[in-house]
Amino acid sequence: MPTSHATAITKKRFEAAIYSRERLSPAVDSLAKIDVRSLNVFDGGNRLIDQVTDCLSLLQDALAISVAIVEKGQKQYDDRDQALLSAASSRYMQIDGDIEATKHQQESLIDTYKQKIEELIKRQFSQAEIDSIVVNPDEEISALDVVVDELRNEKLKIQKYLADAPLYDAAYLVGTRVPELAQTRLELGIGANPFSK
């Protein structure tokens, strides 16, 4: 079951909790070893042990909170939508190929345009005749530039999603092709689609 965003553990909070747990655990272990006997050489040893005990209690509380956050984050990670994650990974890997194919399409338009012009020049057509016969592909090339930009933006969105452990917020995937890949996977019985609400 997906975690609501109000109670979800973000990557930043998860990493902060791990850091706290790593730092607090040895401190708690060390302070727990201090007893009255280890402080009896000081005047006011009982007061000092009370302060150590209070400090230990505060650190134990902080450690417990950190451990709870790490455990909840780990559960979120364990419960992540594998089918959606797989669809996102697949699409991420596919985008560079789509960008290259689009750029190749642009190059092909330019090459075809140049070849047609060269052929008509060889046949001694005038520039006015060439301009009336051969359509300049600038609009198509510009449209393909937009496609390349969209693909790059899609890749960035997917990258943010893939880097969002333990939450894997599907909101990053809005405007990508991942939802349709996830839907295809759903139709194939591979997993749930969080975009169909």
Domain co-membership, 103 together with 160: yes
Q: Is residue 145 a part of any domain in this protein?
A: yes
**Does some domain include residue 3?**
no
Report yes or no on whether pTM surpasses 0.85. no
Distance CA 49, CA 127 (A): 97
| The total number of structural domains that make up the chain | 2
Residues spanned by the domain of 70: 11-78
pLDDT tens across the length of the chain (197 residues): 445 566 889 999 999 999 999 999 999 999 999 887 777 766 666 788 888 899 999 999 999 999 999 999 999 999 988 888 989 999 999 999 999 999 999 999 999 999 999 999 999 999 999 999 999 999 999 999 999 999 999 999 999 999 999 999 989 999 999 988 877 767 777 655 555 54
Total Cβ atoms within 10 A of residue 80: 17
Q: Is the N-terminal amide bond of 26 cis, ω within 30° of 0?
A: no
Of 41, 62, 78, the residue that ends a domain is 78
Identify the domain boundary among 40, 57, 78. Answer: 78
Q: Is residue 176 part of a domain?
A: yes
Q: Is residue 66 packed enough to be buried (19+ CB in 10 Å), middle (13-18) or exposed (0-12)? A: buried
